[in-house]
């Protein structure tokens, strides 16, 4: 009797103890790793005066800091403060800075494939580019390609469809392009060269003096809001549209791959989330600010002009030639361009049904 009672008491005590131990183990908080204090530098291709482009860097740094309770600090530098605006990729690749913000078509001298991840003539518009990167092959393709450059690239901004630029004379036919000296960024210069344009790639802050001195006859930058800030309307009057070479311009956050790999997974996730927010915010800013800026420019004497159908058709023909010629000798380019082409065709099937028909109707009702 005594043995049985003792055993029951022991088992009861053991059971209670086991439950208590289990409960204690469930209730005990996990020991979290402390968030490391990190200070990085980001160099941009933009002057600080462009609060849309450079502003994306400030938005990004702000949210990374807030999400880490100030443990991860990123200091931003404008073009020229560490390296010139067109040398951001080099600075990130070689570790001069950990991060950069730039337009990848600035680096076609290294490989024209870079342009396809930014903006290419008669390519995707802004929403289609987001779809290609976020849900199509875009991010995988740029991941594979940028690995050669020791970089990880994330979408961090889109200007939307840009304007066709500022010209010191009217353009009516393709022949009017011959001999024109024009500042134009990226891969579009290759297309325009086929039509006789003498192209130059000049950083944003240097465009105004080049126009003023007559070193160039024409220039494109982004659109009304930024162009007004840079003052182009003060020296040339003819403002053309649309910017067929930039139906939507993706800007990327460039991260040194080795440095990115060293970050805790939580910091990597925060970077991706902050870049994603800055991406959406930039397009929203341009969409909200361009209309009023365009009104101000026209009121100040700017002559708004559409490119003629004959000019657009000639440019499309030249662009198709460039894509075919480059794809024939560059496997990376062909792979990315084939993906864009297939994606674009499907997207415009949908646009024709929904977006275009809706927008066309609403534009007609606005006129009434």
pLDDT in tens, 62-116: 999 999 999 999 999 999 999 999 999 999 999 999 999 999 999 999 999 999 9
Within a domain: residue 28? Answer: no
Candidates 351, 354, 359, 347; CA nearest to 133 is 347
Model pLDDT for residues 21-61, shown as the tens digit of each residue: 444 444 445 455 678 999 999 999 999 999 999 999 999 99
83 DSSP 8-state letter? S
The pTM assigned to this predicted structure is 0.88
- Angstrom distances, CA of residue 306 to CA of 233, 240, 243, 249: 17, 5, 10, 20
* For range 288-304, the mean pLDDT: 98
Within a domain: residue 318? Answer: yes
pLDDT at 367 (0 to 100) = 75
Within a domain: residue 2? Answer: no
Residue 190 shares a structural domain with residue 82: no
Residue 96 shares a structural domain with residue 142: yes
pLDDT at 32 (0 to 100) = 59
- Selected residue with higher pLDDT from 236 and 185: 236
Residue 218 shares a structural domain with residue 319: yes
Q: Tell me how far apart the alpha carbons of residues 332 and 112 are, in angstroms, rounded to a whole number.
A: 9
pLDDT at 40 (0 to 100) = 98
Find the distance separating the first CA and the last CA of the chain, reported in whole Å: 101
Residue 196 shares a structural domain with residue 57: no
Residue 175 shares a structural domain with residue 151: no
Radius of gyration of the chain (CA): 27
- Selected residue with higher pLDDT from 169 and 368: 169
Q: Is it the case that residue 157 has pLDDT exceeding 90?
A: yes
Q: Is it the case that residue 14 has pLDDT exceeding 70?
A: no
Within a domain: residue 83? Answer: yes
What CATH number is given to the structural domain containing 66?
3.40.190.170
pLDDT at 31 (0 to 100) = 52
Give the number of domains in the chain: 2
Q: Where is 358: in which H helix or E strand?
A: helix 355-367
Q: How far is CA 80 from the centre of its chain?
A: 20
Q: Which two tokens stand for residue 262?
A: 């060293």
Residue 225 shares a structural domain with residue 344: yes
Residue 227 shares a structural domain with residue 305: yes
Tell me what percent of the residues of the chain surpass a pLDDT of 70. Answer: 91
* For range 283-291, the mean pLDDT: 98
Residue 220 shares a structural domain with residue 274: no
3-state secondary structure of 183: strand
pLDDT at 33 (0 to 100) = 67
- Selected residue with higher pLDDT from 257 and 367: 257
What is the pLDDT confidence band of residue 13, given thresholds at 50, 70 and 90?
very low
Within a domain: residue 33? Answer: no
Q: Tell me how far apart the alpha carbons of residues 184 and 203 are, in angstroms, rounded to a whole number.
A: 10
Residue 257 shares a structural domain with residue 208: no
Within a domain: residue 147? Answer: yes
What CATH number is given to the structural domain containing 203?
3.40.190.10
Contact call for residues 316 and 192 (beta carbons, < 8 A): no
Within a domain: residue 363? Answer: no
Q: Tell me how far apart the alpha carbons of residues 166 and 187 are, in angstroms, rounded to a whole number.
A: 18
Q: Is it the case that residue 258 has pLDDT exceeding 60?
A: yes
Residue 204 shares a structural domain with residue 270: no
Residue 105 shares a structural domain with residue 89: yes
Domain that holds residue 261: 38-160+248-287
Within a domain: residue 362? Answer: no
- Strand pairing of 238-241 and 303-306? parallel
Residue 198 shares a structural domain with residue 146: no
């Amino acid at each position: 009797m005594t043995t049985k009672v003792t055993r029951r008491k022991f088992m009861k005590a053991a059971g209670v103890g086991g439950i208590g131990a289990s409960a204690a183990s469930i209730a005990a908080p996990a020991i979290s790793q402390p968030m490391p204090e990190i200070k990085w530098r980001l160099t941009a291709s933009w002057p600080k005066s462009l609060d849309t482009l450079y502003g994306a860097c400030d938005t990004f740094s702000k949210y990374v800091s807030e999400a880490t309770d100030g443990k991860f600090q990123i200091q931003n530098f404008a073009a020229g403060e560490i390296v010139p605006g067109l040398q951001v990729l080099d600075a990130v690749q070689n570790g001069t800075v950990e991060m950069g913000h730039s337009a990848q078509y600035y680096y076609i001298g290294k490989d024209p494939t870079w342009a396809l991840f930014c903006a290419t003539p008669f390519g995707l518009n802004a929403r289609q580019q987001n779809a290609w990167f976020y849900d199509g092959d875009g991010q995988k393709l740029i991941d594979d390609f940028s690995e050669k450059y020791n970089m990880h690239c994330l979408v961090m901004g889109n200007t939307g469809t840009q304007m066709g630029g500022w010209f010191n004379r009217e353009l009516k036919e393709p022949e009017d392009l011959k001999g024109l000296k024009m500042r134009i960024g990226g891969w579009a210069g290759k297309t325009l060269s086929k039509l006789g344009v003498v192209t130059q790639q000049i950083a944003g802050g240097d465009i105004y003096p080049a126009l003023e001195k007559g070193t160039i006859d024409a220039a494109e930058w982004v659109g009304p809001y930024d162009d007004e800030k840079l003052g182009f309307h003060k020296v040339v009057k003819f403002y053309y549209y649309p910017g067929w070479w930039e139906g939507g311009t993706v800007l990327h956050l460039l991260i040194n791959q080795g440095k990115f790999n060293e970050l805790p997974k939580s910091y990597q996730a925060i970077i991706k989330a902050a870049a994603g927010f800055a991406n959406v915010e930039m397009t929203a800013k341009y969409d909200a600010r361009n209309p009023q800026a365009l009104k101000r420019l026209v009121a100040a004497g700017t002559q708004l002009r559409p490119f003629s159908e004959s000019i657009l058709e000639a440019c499309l023909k030249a662009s198709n030639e460039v894509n075919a010629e480059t794809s024939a000798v560059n496997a990376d380019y062909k792979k990315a361009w084939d993906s864009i082409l297939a994606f674009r065709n499907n997207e415009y099937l949908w646009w024709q049904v929904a977006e275009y028909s809706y927008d066309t109707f609403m534009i007609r009702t606005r006129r009434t």
